[in-house]
Amino acid sequence: MSELLIEASFCFDPRELETPIWVFDQQRAHIVWANTAALNLWNEKSLGALRRFTYKDHSRALLSTYGEKHPRYESWVFYANNEPVNVNCHCKHITLKNGQLAELVEVYALNEVPSDQMLTVFDDQGVVLSRNKQAERAHAGKNRLSDYFLSSAQGESLYTQLKASGADIKALDLQVSNQVWHQVGFKLSFDTKTRQTVFLMHERDITRQKSHQIQLEHAVYYDAITGLPNRYLLTGQLELALQSRQKDKLLAIVYLDLDRFKTINDEYGIDDGNQLLIETSLRLKKSLRTGDILARLGGDEFVIVLTNVGSMEECRMVLERLLSAIRKPINLSGHELNITASLGVTVYPDDSADADRLIRHADQAMYRAKAMGKDCYYIFDTLESQQNDSQMEYLARIEQAIDQDEMELYYQPKINMRTGKVLGAEALIRWNHPEHGVLAPGAFLPVIENTPVILKLDHWVLEAAFKQLSFWKSKNVALTLSVNIAALDLQQDDFFERFQTLLTHYSDVDVRLLELEVLETAALEDIEKVSQVMEKITRLGVQFSLDDFGTGYSSLSYLRRLPAAALKIDQSFVRDMLWDVGDTTLVQGVISLATAFQRSVIAEGVESEEHGELLLRLGCDIGQGYGISRPIPASVFEEWRCSWSSFPSWNACQNFPVNRDNLALIYAEVEFRGWLREVHKYVRGTVSEPPAFYFAEHPDHWVRKGHLQQVCQQPEFMNIEPLYARIEQVSHELFYGAVSTEEEARTRVLQHLELLSQELIDQLRTLYVITNCQW
Mention every residue, 6+ apart, whose C-beta is less than 8 A from residue 316.
Answer: none
Q: 385-418 pLDDT, tens per residue?
A: 665 557 788 899 999 999 999 999 999 999 999 9
If asked whether residues 571 and 448 sit together in one domain, one would say yes
180 within some domain? yes
Question: 304 falls in which pLDDT band (50, 70, 90)?
Answer: very high
407 secondary structure, DSSP code? E
Per-residue pLDDT, averaged over 212-216, amounts to 81
Torsion angles phi and psi, residue 27, rounded to 5: -70, -45
Q: Which residues pair with 530 in a beta bridge?
A: none
Q: Are residues 515 and 617 in the same domain?
A: yes
68 band by pLDDT with thresholds 50, 70 and 90: low
CA–CA distance, 466 with 508 (Å, rounded to integer):
10
Residue 5 pLDDT greater than 70, yes or no: no
**How many angstroms separate the CA atoms of 462 and 464, rounded?**
5
CB 649 within 8 A of CB 614: no
Residue 634's identity, in one-letter code, is: A
- Residue 269: DSSP 8-state: -
For residues 218 and 553, the answer to whether their CB atoms sit within 8 Å is no
Dihedral sign of CA atoms 695, 697, 703, 706 in order: negative
**Residues facing 437 on adjacent strands:** 433
Instruction: Flag whether pLDDT at 61 surpasses 50.
Output: no
Q: Provide the domain limits for residue 129.
A: 117-205
Of 523, 456, 513, 458, whose CA–CA distance to 491 is shortest? 523
E strand or H helix at 325, and its extent? helix 312-327
**Is the pLDDT at 538 greater than 60, yes or no?**
yes
Task: Report pLDDT for 715.
Answer: 66
Same domain, 234 and 338: yes
Q: What is the CATH number of the domain that holds 409?
A: 3.20.20.450
Task: Give the model confidence (pLDDT) of 339-361 as tens digits.
Answer: 999 999 999 998 988 999 999 99
What's the CATH number where 303 sits?
3.30.70.270
456 and 376 share one domain: no
Band of the pLDDT at 30, cuts 50, 70, 90? Answer: confident
* Residue 324 resides in a domain: yes
pLDDT at 590 over 70: yes
Q: Residue 456 pLDDT more than 90?
A: yes
Residues 155 and 234 in one domain: no
CA-based torsion, 721, 723, 725, 728: positive or negative: negative
Tell me, what CATH number does 143's domain have? 3.30.450.20
pLDDT at position 623: 97
What is the C-alpha separation between 722 and 728, in angstroms, rounded?
Answer: 10
pLDDT above 60 for 383: yes
Identify the pLDDT of residue 459. 96
Asked if residue 757 and residue 709 are part of one domain, the reply reads yes
Whether residue 770 sits in one domain with residue 678: yes
Q: Is 657 domain-assigned?
A: no
620-668 pLDDT per residue, tens: 999 999 999 999 999 999 999 999 999 998 988 877 777 766 788 888 8
Looking at the structure, tell me whether residues 457 and 567 fall in a common domain.
yes
Are 90 and 7 part of one and the same domain?
Answer: yes
Domain boundary residue, one of 205, 225, 251? 205
- From 185, 205, 225, give the residue that closes a domain: 205
> Does residue 141 fall inside a structural domain?
yes
Closest CA to 542 of 502, 583, 510, 506: 510
Give the C-alpha separation, 679 to 325, whole Å. Answer: 29
Tell me: pLDDT of 553 over 60.
Answer: no
Strand 117-122 with 301-309, pairing: unpaired
Q: What is the CB-side half-sphere exposure of residue 370 using CA atoms within 13 A?
A: 13
Continuous segment of H or E residues that includes residue 90: strand 83-95
Within-domain flag for 557:
yes
The more confident residue out of 522 and 563 is 563
pLDDT band at 775 (very low <50, low <70, confident <90, very high): very low
Instruction: Based on the fold, state whether residues 176 and 269 are members of the same structural domain.
Output: no
190 shares its domain with 224: no
pTM score: 0.53
Strands (E), 267-351: 293-298, 301-309, 330-332, 335-337, 341-348
Q: Is residue 310 part of a domain?
A: yes
pLDDT at residue 256 tops 80: yes
- What is the per-residue pLDDT across 426-445, written as a single tens digit (0 to 9) for each? 999 999 999 999 999 999 99
**Contact between residue 330 and residue 336 where contact means Cβ atoms under 8 Å apart:** yes
Please indicate, yes or no, whether residues 685 and 723 belong to a single structural domain of this protein.
yes
The pLDDT score that the predictor gives to residue 435 is: 92
In a domain, 315, yes or no: yes
Chain segment 152-192, per-residue pLDDT in tens: 787 778 877 877 776 778 778 888 888 889 989 888 887 77
Domain C-terminal end among 388, 405, 434: 388
Count: domains in the chain:
5
The pLDDT value recorded for residue 603 is: 95
Look at 312-326, 479-493, 543-557 and tell me which has the smallest mean pLDDT.
543-557
